[in-house]
Amino acid sequence: MFRIVACIDGSRAAPAVCDYAAWASHHMETPLTLLHVLDEARYPIEPDLAGSIGLGSRELLMDELAELDRKRAKLALEHGHHLLDEAERRVNESDVKDVTKRQRHGDLTESVQALESQTRLLVMGLHGESSSDRDIHIGSQLETVIRSIHRPVLLVPDNFKKPESAMFAFDGSATAFKGIELLKGSGVLERLPLHLVMVGPDTADRWEQLKKAEKMLAGVSADITLAIRAGDVEPALHGYQEEHDIDLLVMGAYGHSTIRRFLVGSTTTTMLETAKTPLVILR
């Protein structure tokens, strides 16, 4: 059975991850799994002190250090259980009935990949656990996860707002049409008004591409609006989104076209760090 999988951690985005995951569970009529991953790099199951400099044969000290690491790992495990319990309570308040909790010890990307065959939508916070009010940055493992999983990923900001409309950044390429197919089958935008937006010259060929995409999405969205905007990709997309008060931005990730390059490198970092609305990334 397919499920919504929400990645729960100790970041300030965690409540919003719960709220958006609950919304997606209702909207897509799909059960929800709350996932917490205990980072093996920070909390190894069995600490390895064999190479510690200066310890030599001081076995007692090594044993004490190992015991401290085991206690840290145990506390982290208990904290993870607490996070999952709080997340379950929050989504239950949103009347999500079918909820499971899972805790894994290891790497986040590998843990998400292990659940990929059961995942319909992955929900993650834009900001990591180390972000603060003064130092906001995207989660350190975000790009790795996006590159590694072939499922739609919903990336959410710190505050929840129920999505009422969406925009798909479309470039007319074969990959973009594949994204339309993925979007149609995902159920993420079912019954939501959708704007299909291209950035570039206003030509007859581009309008034909937009109309073809519109036909492919027939019956999925409540209403479809087609638009072409001139200018650079990033400001044109953000400008259109603000002009029409659009809640969700949908994009394909990684490739060679102008729009897909938008999601790679420094532009990606800037866009994600300043995002005030959620993004759906298609792979």
Instruction: With beta carbons less than 8 A apart as the criterion, state whether 129 and 10 touch.
Output: yes
C-alpha 50, offset from chain centre: 38
CA neighbor of 164 nearest in space, from 244, 251, 253, 275: 244
In this predicted structure, the answer to whether residue 2 has a pLDDT above a threshold of 80 is: yes
pLDDT (average), residues 119-143: 68
Classify residue 208 as exposed, middle or buried by CB count within 10 Å of its CB (0-12, 13-18, 19+). Answer: exposed
Tell me the C-alpha distance between 197 and 185, whole Å: 20
Please report where in the chains the tokens 């969205």 appear, as a residue.
221
Average pLDDT, the chain: 81
Only one residue has tokens 């970041």, namely: 11
Q: Side by side, which strands form the sheet with 153-156?
A: 99-106, 32-39, 3-7, 119-125, 153-156, 279-282, 248-252, 166-169, 194-199, 224-229
- Looking at per-residue pLDDT, the higher value among 68 and 93 belongs to 93
| DSSP H or E run through 104 | strand 99-106
Q: What angle do CA 39, 11, 141 make, to 5 degrees?
A: 50
Residue 262: other Cβ atoms inside 10 A: 21
CA-CA-CA-CA dihedral for 60, 62, 64, 67, to nearest 10: -140
Given the candidates 3.40.50.620, 3.50.50.60, 1.20.1090.10, 3.20.20.70, the CATH classification of the domain at 3-42+76-156 is 3.40.50.620
Query: What single-letter DSSP state applies at residue 276?
Result: -
Domain ranges within the chain, ordered by starting residue:
3-42+76-156, 166-282
Question: pLDDT band at residue 265, thresholds of 50, 70 and 90?
Answer: very low
Give the separation between CA 66 and CA 61, rounded to whole angstroms. 9
pLDDT band of residue 65 (cuts 50, 70, 90) is: low
What is the model's pTM? Answer: 0.82
Same-fold call for 3-42+76-156 versus 166-282: yes
162-195 tens-digit pLDDT: 999 999 988 888 888 888 888 888 888 888 899 9
Q: What is the pLDDT of residues 26-56, one digit of tens each?
A: 999 999 999 999 876 555 555 554 555 554 5
Superfamily of domain 166-282: HUPs (3.40.50.620)
Q: Alpha-carbon torsion 139, 144, 149, 151, what sign? A: positive
- Among 121-130, 198-207, 212-221, which stretch is predicted with the lowest mean pLDDT? 121-130
Query: What integer pLDDT is reported at residue 229 of this predicted model?
Result: 95
Cβ pair 178, 184 in contact under 8 A? no
